[in-house]
Structure 1
Amino acid sequence: MKKYLITIVFFLTISKVEAQHINFPDMLSLVGAPTEQVVQFLTVGKRFQFVSSDMSMGYPINKYQNRWGDDGFRETIITGMGSVIEGGRKLHVLSYTTTSLAHINELIVQIRKYGYPLTFKGHDDTKNIRIYESDLYSVTVYLPFGKGGYYSVEVHEKQAVPLDY
């Protein structure tokens, strides 16, 4: 019994854990959330730290990055982007970027699991592009050609069409 315990402890000690710090449901809940809620969720609840803020079109655009650790990968989240539509409502965009292909692949699995069908698959000069859509959100995944580089996911709010009765 001691052999098994020692073996398990040995493998746990030498294994490198590379945990994804945000998942797809988190992204959906943060895309239109107030800045205070985003800050609280990312900096207290997750392993991110606030990096910078920029005012664009009167709205703060905030950048957060994971704290460097033994995991050796970088994750960046940008919130506050978007466009103002008629009536003054803002359609928000959340951007997630990582250096880990495994994290992007896990997010793609989660996107499919949540029932978002693939509506576009193509590429430009530098990356593959996949778009998944629902009635409320459009999710774009960017996968650069070759190894390395930055992989990213953008969640865009869609304009809801009001029903007239």
Structure 2
Amino acid sequence: MKKYLFMLPVMLLVSLSMYGQSTKFSDLIYFTGLSNGEVYNNLLQGTTFRQDYSVNVNGRELEYFKNITGKPNTEKIMVGDYTKLYDGSVLRTVNYTSTDPQHILNMISQAKRFGLEMKFHGADEANNIYLFDSSFYHVSIYLRRDQTSGLVEIKQKEYLGLE
């Protein structure tokens, strides 16, 4: 009985120091279909991210969000980059960066579970590179070879359906 009483506080202390990833791959996919204002509202309702800053680049309002829970400032999300098509529709891009390599590894496994097909896995001088593809999205994941940070870039693709 004494050893159980000892283990309970130890387990509580360990669980207090644990933290999780602030967002999931499916959330990032969801953000590609939203405007900047809608992403802003979603992230603020979740209370794990807050807006860091926004900047206007070539007429596009890029908004940067950083996490405020767990290990603050380890995760960032950038929205606002897009490609405008000839018919006026917009294909959005969402970038997620993390200084925790485990978060990037989690994103790789979540992308596989999401049903995306891995088209390429390789490396260059600085990064391990993972490219995933589906009919609707192109996903590039870069994990620094020195395990210091990583990037997930999700781009919407133009869907050419038959009418």
Instruction: Find the residue that maps to 2:96 and give its secondary structure.
Output: strand
Deviation at 1:83, TM superposition (A): 1.3
The Cα of 1:5 is off from its aligned counterpart by 4.7
The residue aligned with 1:42 is 43
Question: Which deviates more, 70-79 or 138-147?
Answer: 70-79
Measure, in 1, the Cα distance between the counterparts of 2:31 and 2:63.
12
Alignment of structure 1 residues 36-75 onto 2, 5 Å: 36-67=37-68, 71=71, 74-75=74-75
Which whole-Å CA distance do the structure 2 matches of 1:93 and 1:19 have between them?
24
TM-score norm. by structure 2 comes to 0.89
> 1:103 is matched with which residue?
103
State the Cα deviation string for residues 91-126 of structure 1 (Å, max 9, x = none).
100000001111111111111111111101223332
Change (3 A) 1:18 1:56: same
CA distance in 2 between partners of 1:56 and 1:88 (Å): 20
| C-alpha contact 2:20 2:70 (8 A) present in aligned 1 | no
1:26-72 CA-to-partner distances (Å, cap 9, x unmatched) read 011111212222112112214111011122343321000012x5636
Query: Is 1:12 paired with 2:12?
Result: yes
* Identical counterparts, % of pairs: 28
Corresponding pairs, count: 162
Task: Tell me by how many angstroms 1:147 deviates.
Answer: 3.0
Instruction: Please give the root-mean-square deviation of Cα atoms over the aligned residues, in Å.
Output: 1.9
Partners of 2:70 and 2:130 in 1: CA distance: 31
After superposition, where does 1:81-100 map in structure 2 within 5 Å? Answer: 81-100=81-100
TM-score, normalising length from structure 1? 0.88
Shift of 1:6: 4.2
Structure 1 residues 161 and 11: CA distance shift in structure 2, 3 A: same
AA at the equivalent of 1:157: Q
Q: Which runs of 5+ in 1 are unaligned?
A: none
CA distance in 1, matches of 2:13, 2:84: 50
Note if contact 1:21-1:46 (Cα within 8 Å) is conserved in structure 2. Answer: no
